[in-house]
């Protein structure tokens, strides 16, 4: 199987430049990243390195030394990020499978905006050895594929755990979050989630509304944790060579330097507490998976940082593209985005996250949704 690999991930003999002039003179990698080595061992052929949002620090895919990555469905629109090129290459039919990373949205958001499948496994399932870090605490390796079956085959090859997306989901309890935090700004995406719930119900799943108290407090820890860890990685380059960064990236990193050790430790403790509380609550209510949109918006114009949403709201693009996905990096639960069937115009994504049942649960549910 031909595979594309995000240019944040080492491939032997090829420089890893992370979409930045900071690494313009990077030497060729001497070893494959662990996930690349596993794919090669399973028979995959790496055919390309793919575009990344600079150092993976952004959800749009239009900030990199090479310029923006363009959405195959409309070249004026973003792909989403940071695994921008991986999603675009699969959506354009160049490869059936690509490897990305996901620290807050970076596999699932571009998958949603480009109309492909994007899997973020549970934390720690796929090794990050040989992957340039954004946030060691929240980084995941992810997979993007043309369909659920392709992603399931690749995940099985990488882990030795057989995944059967055609397995029955009868009796699965599907929670639909109702808290204001999960607001969607595109009515057609909301309708697509409703149709996905109907498809799962027809397959024998039980659908129920759920609340995740504390979700806003949990989400607020994300920028502190990622910002503090990213600034620590980049502080020397940032001090010595700030002009080699794209201006947006440099500004974000410099702002992240304001986080104190107390801020960081408090965020880590809050995250740990709320992860335990929310997981226990969902398990006590018998919930197996959550069903929701992947993003509250579809692909926005390249370079736009605010847009007028279909519901009339003026929306900040960057936080919006992270909002519905980042909780599952903080929680460590596996999550998948699959293309929403029957939407008009640009693609949209439906997200399934597993409280229990792991990648098998999300891919089996995702397969039912993708069928429509």
The residues carrying an active-site annotation are 6, 82, 106
Tell me the two tokens of residue 214. 């504390």
Q: Count how many Cα atoms sit within 13 Å of the Cα of residue 161 in the half-sphere of its side chain.
A: 14
Query: Residue 110 is inside which H or E element, if any?
Result: helix 108-114
Greatest Cα-to-Cα distance within the chain, rounded to the nearest angstrom: 59
Bridge partners (DSSP) of residue 118 are 144, 337
Quick one: which of 84, 43, 37 has its CA closest to 60?
84
Of residues 98, 110, 114, the one with CA closest to residue 35:
98
Please state at what angle helix 187-202 crosses helix 358-371, rounded to 10 degrees.
Answer: 110
As a whole number of angstroms, the distance between CA 294 and CA 337 comes to 6
Report the Cα–Cα distance between both ends of the chain, in Å, rounded.
Answer: 27
Write out the DSSP string of 51-69: --SGGG--SSS--STT---
- Between CA 56 and CA 175, with CA 316 as vertex, the angle to 5 degrees is 80
- What is the phi/psi pair of residue 194, to 5°? -60, -45
Place of tokens 């936080």: 319
Residue with tokens 């390309």, as numbered in its chain? 48
What distance in Å separates the CA atoms of residue 286 and residue 36, rounded to the nearest whole number?
37
Strand (E) or helix (H) holding 106? none
β-sheet bridge partners, residue 162: none
Task: Give the length of the chain.
Answer: 372
């Amino acid at each position: 199987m031909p595979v594309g690999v995000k240019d944040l991930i080492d491939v032997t003999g090829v420089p890893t430049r992370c979409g930045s002039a900071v690494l313009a003179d990077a030497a060729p990698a001497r070893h494959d990243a662990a996930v690349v080595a596993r794919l090669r061992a399973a028979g995959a052929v790496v055919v390309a390195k793919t575009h990344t949002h600079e150092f993976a620090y952004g959800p749009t895919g239009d900030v990199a030394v090479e310029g923006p990555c363009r959405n195959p469905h409309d070249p004026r629109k973003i792909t989403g990020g940071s695994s921008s090129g991986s999603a675009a290459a699969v959506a354009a039919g160049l490869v059936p499978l690509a490897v990305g990373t996901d620290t807050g949205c970076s596999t699932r958001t571009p998958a949603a905006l480009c109309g492909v499948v994007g899997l973020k496994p549970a934390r720690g399932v796929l090794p990050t050895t040989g992957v340039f870090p954004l946030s060691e605490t929240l980084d995941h390796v992810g997979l993007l594929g043309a369909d659920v079956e392709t992603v399931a085959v690749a995940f099985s090859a990488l882990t030795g755990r057989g995944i059967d997306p055609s397995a029955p989901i009868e009796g699965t309890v599907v929670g639909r979050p109702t808290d204001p935090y999960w607001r969607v700004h595109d009515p057609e995406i909301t309708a697509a989630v409703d149709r996905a719930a109907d498809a799962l119900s027809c397959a024998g799943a039980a659908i129920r509304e759920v609340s995740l108290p504390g979700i806003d407090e949990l989400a607020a820890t994300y920028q502190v944790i990622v910002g503090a860890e990213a600034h620590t990685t980049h502080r020397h380059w940032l001090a010595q060579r700030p002009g080699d960064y794209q201006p947006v990236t440099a500004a974000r990193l410099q702002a992240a330097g304001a986080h104190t050790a107390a801020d960081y430790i408090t965020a880590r403790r809050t995250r740990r507490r709320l992860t335990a509380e929310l997981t226990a609550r969902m398990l006590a209510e018998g919930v197996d998976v959550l069903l929701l949109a992947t993003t509250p918006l579809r692909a926005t114009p390249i370079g736009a940082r605010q847009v007028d949403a279909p519901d009339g709201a003026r929306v900040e693009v960057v936080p919006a593209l992270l909002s519905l996905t980042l909780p599952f990096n903080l929680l460590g639960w596996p999550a998948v985005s699959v293309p929403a069937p029957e939407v008009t115009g640009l693609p949209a994504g439906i997200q399934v996250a597993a409280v229990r049942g792991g990648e098998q649960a999300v891919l089996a549910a995702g397969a039912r949704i993708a069928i429509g």
